[in-house]
Amino acid sequence: MDKILVHGGRRLRGSVRISGSKNSALPILAATLLTKEPCTITRVPDLSDIHYMLTILGELGCEVERASGMVQIRAEHVSTAAPYDIVRKMRASVCVLGPLLGRELEATVSLPGGCVIGDRPIDLHLRGFEALGATVRVAGGNVKVLAPKLRGARISLRSNFGSTVLGTGNVMMAAVLAEGETVIDGAAEEPEVVDLANFLNAMGAKIEGAGSRTITIQGVKELHGANHEVIPDRIEAGTFLVAGAISGDEVALQRIQPEHLRTVTEPLAEAGFEILSNGSQLTIRPGAQRRPLKISTMPYPGFPTDMQAQMCALLASTGGISVVTENVFPNRFMHVAELKRMGADIALQGPTAVITGVPKLSAAPVMASDLRASAALVLAGLQAEGVTEVNRVYHIDRGYESIDEKLNALGAQIERVKA
C-alpha cells in the first residue's frame, strides 16, 4: 500500500489549477444512462472514484471512452443490475439507481454498507422513488426498485441532518422521465446539484429551482445526448486554501468559482487570513495575526462537512481555543486521534471538537481513515516538525488529483513511497 512522506516546514508559494469536482462528476456520469445518445463530459478529474463509476457504467453496458479530462459515454443498451464487487467499493454507486429507474423502470444495486464517516442510509432516496410510484425491495444485500410507470409527485427530502445531496440528484434523475410534474421540497442546495440539473437540462430535461430548497421538474418523454463541463472542485480548492493558510506565503487557486467557496473563505478571513478574489482566481496570504474559530458544519450554504477535518488541522496550531461542531455526519472525527498523535490538543465532546491550539505539531506515522481525514493529515504534516508518514493513501487518491505533485509545485516536499 502506498504511503506519503511529508517533510514539514516548507513554505508554499505560487498557483495551483483546481480540477473538476468529484462530487459533481459522479452523478453526472451516472446521468448519461438516461439517454441512448452519446454524451461528452469534460473536466472529469482523474480519481479512483471516477474510475469505479466508469467501470460500473461499462458493466451496465455503456460504451465508455476516456482521454485526459474528457469522457464520452454512449448508453445505447443497458442492463439494470450494477455488479456488487465494484459497487461495494464506492457508496456513490447508488446514484445509478435514479437514472436506471427513470429509463428502464427497474434498477438493482447492492445496498451500501456502513462507512467510516457514519451510517449513511439511503432511506430518503428510496422514499423519493416510492413517491414516484416505484416499489422498493431489499433482499440478499441488494436493493431493487421497480415501477410499472413513474408519475410526478410532491416529495420531501428533509431529514434531521438537512437534505441529501446524492438523494436529491437520484430523485431528480428518476423524475425527469416521469409523467407530469414532480416537486422536491427540502432539496439539497449544493452547487453539485445545480451542475447535475444543468447537465440534465442540456439533455432536454425541464428542471427549475436547482440551488434552492424547492426543485420543480416537468417530466419529458425522452432525453438526448449533450456535452457538459464539470464545475471546479470546491473541496479540493478549499483544501488548497487551508494548505496556503497553514504554510503559505502566498497561494493562488486558478479556475475556481469563488462564490462556491464563500463558506470557506469567510471563516478563513475571520481567522485572520487575507483573501483576494479576482475573476476565477483566489489568493490567500497570511494576515497580521491568526485567530481561533467557532465553526459548525451545515448543508450548503453552510460550512461544508467535507472541509471539517482540514480546518481542524489548521486550528490545531492556531493559538487560543477553537470549537468545531459536526452536524452532518456527527461521528466524522477519525482524524482527531491521528492529529493528537502529532501533538494536537483536541477534546471530543459528542459531535464537537474543542481544539486548544499548540505552537507546533510534530511528525508521526499516521493512518488515513477516509478521504478528507487523509487530506487533513497531509496538511498537518506540512506544518509539523520532521517527516510525517501518512499510510493508506489510497483514500486520498479517491478524491484529490495528484495532490502530492500539486503541493510540491507550490514548494512542499512530499514523497510517495510505493509499497
Residues of this chain that interact with ligand EPU (CB under 6 A) are 23, 26, 92, 118-125, 159, 161, 164-167, 188, 305-306, 328-329, 371-372, 399
Closer by beta carbon to ligand EPU, 103 or else 332: 332
Question: What is the distance between the alpha carbons of residues 81 and 142, in angstroms, rounded to a whole number?
Answer: 10
Nearer to ligand EPU, 27 or 248 (CB): 27
Residues forming a β-bridge with 151 = 179
Query: Quick one: cell of 347?
Result: 477534546
Tell me how far, at minimum, the Cβ of 166 lies from ligand EPU, in Å.
Answer: 3
- Give the shortest CB-256-to-ligand EPU separation in angstroms: 17
Q: C-beta of 118: minimal distance to ligand EPU in Å?
A: 6
**HSE-up of residue 382 (Cα within 13 Å, Cβ side):** 28
**Three cell numbers, residue 79:** 442492463
In the bound complex, what is the minimum distance in angstroms from residue 55's beta carbon to ligand EPU?
Answer: 16
Would you call 115 a catalytic residue per the annotation? yes
Which of the residues 39, 62, 95, 115 is marked catalytic?
A: 115
CA distance from start to end of the chain: 5
* Residue 228 near residue 236, CB atoms below 8 Å: no
SS3 (DSSP) at 264 = helix
Query: Which DSSP category does 10 fall into?
Result: P
- For 86, other C-beta atoms within 10 Å of its C-beta total 17
Residue with Cβ nearer ligand EPU (48 or 362)? 48
Question: Which lies closer to ligand EPU via its Cβ, residue 159 or residue 362?
Answer: 159
Nearer CB in complex with ligand EPU: 163/318: 163
The edge-to-edge listing of strands for the beta sheet with 215-218 is 154-156, 181-185, 215-218, 206-208
Q: Are strands 215-218 and 181-185 parallel, antiparallel or unpaired?
A: antiparallel
- Nearest approach in angstroms of CB 76 to ligand EPU is 26
Q: Which residues are marked as active site?
A: 115
